[in-house]
């Protein structure tokens, strides 16, 4: 294929240029294919770019470069616009800027090697290439700068759009519901299936910079996961990822983070409920200073959100626990050891009759019989509330 004529070249026939340049120009198709294959071999990230598109871009770019060598001029307006176009596309295809620039260096290297090969051992031809070094480098420098600028602009725009979508998702979860179609469009734009299962993990102790690190760590998971951050509220929303993998990624991104994990729930409405689960679990996580899964501690996590409203119900129990700490210790041990007098006694290193006496005494003072469901739940919740107050 003939080399494209530059859009700012002189009218009439273009200068022929040195023989090595014209010789390479005559077989630009083969050179472009070889450069494309070399880039893909040296930069694995380019697998994300369809081969036909990549080959077409490389050929067009090389044609502009060779034409620039022939007319010995800076990049044309068409060459610059093409560079802008594929710089933006490479950003959209998530090709790192460093890899894009490295691909330029590979093309520069291969074109120069082709020119040297054409010159061979003939001194007069090799000498004719000396003047082309500066022209070739200027072409690559100008075009790579345009590509880098376009790539950065597109990346910045995409990040801003992504952040806006994530903030809107948090607003939906927090109660600013949209229409069903709008919510479906929102989650689709983030890569989620609207009818799929969502898991939400609310985080504490994660500043904006750390949220970006968490989001980067989530990128290696097999499913779809976004770290959403807005005005101090940070949550990971995911589909197709195990809770274990999510928590591992979170702590890889920010080891000091505390996590409250919601239940896996179906659809956008389910995601809203999972966010509520995670919010309540995070309150509990702050109390115990470790990650909490709503599935494991749903009762205390749920009560944690309304605990102060229940304190009046637990006043007698809190007073008893403060006055008779051994009774409270025995109730805790009884609940922690399968509601067995023998196991509780073994754990506390006392006689089983002493355990029975203490539990009876607890019932007399509080009105809660721990051998009934209501009495046991009331006792455990009361003691957890008191323990949280002591922690604070």
Residue 67's CATH number = 1.10.490
CB-based contact 99:46 (threshold 8 Å):
yes
Same domain assignment for residues 137 and 231: no
* Structural domain contains residue 288: yes
Beta bridge partners of 359: none
The total number of structural domains that make up the chain: 3
**pLDDT 10s per residue in the chain (392 long)?**
344 444 433 333 334 455 677 878 888 899 999 999 999 999 999 998 999 999 999 999 999 988 888 888 888 899 999 999 989 999 888 898 999 999 989 998 898 888 888 776 565 555 566 666 777 788 888 899 999 999 988 888 888 888 888 988 888 888 777 787 888 888 999 989 999 999 999 999 888 778 888 888 888 788 899 988 876 688 999 999 999 999 999 999 888 899 999 999 999 999 999 999 999 999 889 888 899 999 988 887 887 656 566 777 888 888 899 899 999 999 999 988 989 999 999 999 999 999 999 999 999 999 999 999 989 988 888 887 777 655 54
* Backbone angle region of 296, left / alpha / beta, with phi > 0 → left and psi within -120 to 50 → alpha: alpha
Same domain assignment for residues 245 and 198: yes
260: containing domain: 180-296
Same domain assignment for residues 123 and 147: yes
* Structural domain contains residue 11: no
132: closest CA among 103, 102, 146, 111? 111
Cα distance between residue 144 and residue 152, in whole Å: 12
Same domain assignment for residues 266 and 319: no
What secondary structure letter does DSSP report for 48?
Answer: G
CB-based contact 67:4 (threshold 8 Å):
yes
End-of-domain residue from the set 296, 316, 334 = 296
End-of-domain residue from the set 296, 327, 360 = 296
Same domain assignment for residues 104 and 206: no
End-of-domain residue from the set 275, 296, 317 = 296
* Structural domain contains residue 2: no
* Structural domain contains residue 6: no
Supply 132's token pair.
Answer: 């082309």
* Alpha helices, DSSP H, located in 18-122: 19-26, 28-42, 51-71, 77-92, 97-119
SS3 breakdown of the chain: % helix, strand, coil, rounded to 5?
Answer: 70, 10, 25
Cα distance between residue 353 and residue 341, in whole Å: 8
Same domain assignment for residues 154 and 29: yes
Number of residues assigned to the chain: 392
Same domain assignment for residues 41 and 154: yes
End-to-end CA distance of the chain: 77
CB-based contact 385:318 (threshold 8 Å):
yes
pTM: 0.60
* Structural domain contains residue 163: no
209: closest CA among 227, 224, 226? 227
Other C-beta atoms lying within 10 Å of the C-beta of residue 312:
8
Angle between helices 352-366 and 373-391 (to 10 degrees): 80
* Structural domain contains residue 10: no
* Structural domain contains residue 285: yes
Same domain assignment for residues 198 and 313: no
Same domain assignment for residues 68 and 45: yes
* Structural domain contains residue 173: no
Cα distance between residue 195 and residue 146, in whole Å: 42
């Amino acid at each position: 294929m003939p080399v494209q004529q530059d859009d700012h070249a002189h009218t009439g026939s273009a200068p022929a240029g040195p023989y090595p340049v014209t010789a390479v120009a005559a077989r630009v198709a083969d050179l472009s294919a070889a450069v494309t294959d070399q880039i893909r071999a040296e930069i694995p990230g380019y697998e994300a770019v369809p081969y036909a598109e990549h080959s077409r871009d490389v050929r067009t770019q090389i044609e502009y470069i060779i034409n620039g060598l022939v007319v010995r001029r800076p990049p044309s307006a068409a060459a610059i616009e093409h560079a802008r176009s594929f710089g933006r596309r490479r950003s959209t295809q998530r090709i790192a800027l460093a890899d894009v620039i490295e691909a330029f260096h590979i093309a520069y290297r291969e074109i120069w090697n082709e020119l040297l090969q054409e010159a061979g051992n003939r001194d007069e031809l090799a000498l004719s290439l000396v003047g082309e070094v500066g022209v070739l480098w200027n072409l690559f420098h100008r075009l790579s700068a345009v590509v880098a600028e376009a790539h950065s602009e597109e990346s910045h725009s995409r990040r801003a759009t992504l952040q806006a979508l994530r903030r809107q998702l948090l607003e939906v979860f927090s109660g600013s519901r949209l229409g069903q179609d709008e919510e479906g469009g929102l989650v689709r734009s983030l890569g989620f299936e609207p009818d799929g299962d969502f898991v939400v993990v609310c985080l504490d102790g994660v500043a904006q910079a750390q949220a970006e690190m968490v989001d980067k760590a989530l990128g290696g998971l097999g499913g779809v996961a976004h770290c959403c951050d807005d005005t101090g509220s940070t949550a990971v929303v995911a589909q197709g990822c195990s809770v274990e993998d999510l928590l591992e990624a979170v702590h890889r991104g920010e080891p000091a983070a505390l996590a409250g994990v919601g239940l896996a729930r179906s659809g956008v409405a389910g995601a809203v409920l999972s966010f509520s689960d995670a919010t309540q679990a995070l309150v509990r996580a702050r109390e115990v200073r470790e990650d909490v899964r709503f599935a494991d501690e749903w009762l205390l996590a749920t009560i944690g959100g309304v605990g102060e409203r229940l304190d009046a119900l637990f006043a007698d129990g809190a007073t008893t626990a403060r006055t008779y700490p051994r009774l409270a210790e025995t109730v805790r041990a009884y609940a922690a050891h399968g509601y067995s007098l023998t196991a509780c006694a073994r754990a506390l290193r006392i006689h089983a009759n002493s355990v029975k006496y203490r539990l009876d005494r607890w019932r007399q003072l509080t009105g809660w019989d721990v051998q009934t469901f209501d009495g046991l739940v009331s006792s455990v919740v009361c003691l957890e509330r008191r323990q949280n107050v002591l922690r604070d």
